[in-house]
A and B are shown apart, each in its own frame.
Chain A
């Protein structure tokens, strides 16, 4: 017991333990797992890359779905086409990612046999197989996230449409769509980007589930496994990395604000 305490450094003061852990993380040497005895660093970086691909592609799909669809919904919010899209997005919001995943597997993998039902291959090893394996999990993450994002795009664009400067632009002779694209989008983008950053956290959580459904060795499944194995040090490190990722994205978003809206730059100075 004393030997174990010595080995894990539990006999040292708490502050020292904490600092040595932080030092390990910062110098990319987080130590060895309690359970597998394997170094944690390479495990986490491998898994992180997998999850970045998954979450990143999911985000891209979400944007591709949400931005045009939200705009159309806003512009046509009183017409049947807008209402139908609105209803569709509501269904999307209601469907959990894992259900979308199971449906996609049932239809496209098992039913039609177009794509593999699960597994993961890194892009350097086999780019074609990588893409094939990425499609379904990224879609199930992206479509569901996209549906949520659509609602925000819609309301952001609707708000902008009511602004005076758009009426002025219309008065100058621009058609509604033209006016929106030239003057409205930049303003509508600020709240949307905020939501996007907030959604990243949701997406990481969604990835935990999706990684399980599609048997993908990502950060989420690593977290789940280490929680179930009581591999405390791994859990600590993974949670820290996810938290850092969320902070980093929020920081990036702040920079993006400035790029989108020059007025914020003036306000800051």
Chain B
């Protein structure tokens, strides 16, 4: 037998390596993690939009990315919550408080080249009723007609006076669309804003590029990349290692110490519109019984809860109003923590043996607070079954659309959202109170003082009825490189406005 006909040294290694190389492939990818350099900014955020069409898709992530940046409205909110001109230079309100006349800027253009005119504005307002499918579209129901008087003059007639309507024009329902640019809203948004969507790497990032032909003052950064992180630790690491410059929404407040004493970073802490609500299903199940809802409110020690699950950052509010709204009042004492009372109410209700399904979205604050809520409720004699639903899709379908839940935890970040969450029987809270709706109506139609008084009364009623439990108000926690300027202390709108950001 001959063994050495030819040298086969390393044939095994060769074959193995070959297999490896075959697998490695030689293709060039086309996904990027955003720009670099002085004119680029990378911001870390949590919830990625499912698509770009906020006319048909619920959730705040799309507005956060696009409003004020890609889309503009006739009017916008400034940092103090006042309504300011954006695409409208000025506006007047008729004596009967039903007709608004807007004077529009002359030189604004959409990113598809079309000029912005009053016809587009009328089209955009009309389209909310005809084409939009999200819950907020109801805020435009009060509009009777919107018509273009001239290319720069728009007349909007309301069915009745509404304090709320002009404010809503600063939110997503007031976004201005091009008559020739609404075919592919889900993938190619067309607006008049200073940025356009340049690239979207799904599951990773959205890159916005500054427009050359923007009508207004150009923002500082030529390119802004919004990078989405499912995991708070990964987001912190990205800032520590320079992949991002700003943590837009800090999701792990207990790790703030890593940045707080480091001169390279600055920490911003203010308030938001984000009420973290322990939503209760008022329409069916054990929580239909008001006594059970009241028992839930008594059973929760809010201070301890906020300390445990959100490192004590945030603010206790006790109802659906953040302190940046004119009708804010401290309602934290309506149901002071009292385990004995909770137990008693639960016994009286006759629902003591029932299991409550606490269905949480997979969001850091919800999962962190969910276990604390569960244990506090169980200590007061409740039975709680915890269940996680992927956010956004699964949670939106199961809880928000079908109301198939007993309790949930969600941050309602939309501004002035008492009406949207509790004002209709079809809302997922299934709260049904004619008295509450009457108060909201009175607030909307009355004078400004009446608005404030009635909104306060409405918030008190919500709290008294235990329509939900308000765990705390999310803090506006941002961490950024020291040289980034223009970051907002308080979040007053649903948009992450990039136009004021700069570098010192």
Contacts and interface: CB of A to CB of B under 8 A. Distances in A.
Contacts of A55: 23
Contacts, number: 200
A252 interface: yes
B27 interface: yes
A109 interface: yes
Interface string A171-212: 010000000011101101100110011001000000000001
Contact of A253 (B12, B19, B24, B227): B19
Given A67-B16, A181-B10, A215-B204, A118 B243 contact: yes
A196 B16 contact: yes
A168 B3 contact: yes
B237 A59 contact: no
Contact of B186 (A38, A129, A183): A38
A155 interface: no
Nearest to A50: B29
B249 to A, nearest CB: 16
A28 to B, nearest CB: 14
Interface in B217-245: 227, 229-231, 234, 237-238, 240-243
Given A35-B51, A213-B234, A116 B241 contact: yes
Query: What secondary structure prevails in chain A residues at the interface with B?
Result: helix
Nearest to A42: B30
A120 interface: yes
B187 A215 contact: no
Nearest to A166: B3
A36 to B, nearest CB: 4
Interface residues of A, number: 72
Interface in B3-27: 3-4, 7-13, 15-25, 27
B32 A121 contact: yes
A110 B241 contact: yes
Given A60-B24, A252-B22, A260-B12, A49 B50 contact: no
B400 to A, nearest CB: 14
Interface in A58-85: 59-60, 62-63, 67
A57 B12 contact: no
A36 B186 contact: yes
A119 B204 CA distance: 8
Nearest to B204: A217
Interface of B: 1, 3-4, 7-13, 15-25, 27-33, 36, 50-51, 53, 186-187, 201-204, 227, 229-231, 234, 237-238, 240-243, 362, 390, 392-394, 397
12 contacts: A49-B27, A60-B17, A63-B13, A109-B241, A117-B234, A120-B31, A120-B204, A133-B33, A217-B201, A225-B203, A228-B394, A230-B397
Interface of A: 35-38, 43, 46-47, 49-50, 52-53, 55-57, 59-60, 62-63, 67, 105, 109-110, 113, 115-126, 129, 133, 165, 168-169, 172, 181-183, 185-186, 188-189, 192-193, 196-197, 200, 212-217, 221-222, 225, 228-231, 249, 252-253, 256, 259-260
Query: Which 7 pairs show the lowest CB-CB distances between chains A and B?
Result: A56-B24, A189-B12, A122-B29, A228-B390, A117-B237, A217-B204, A185-B12
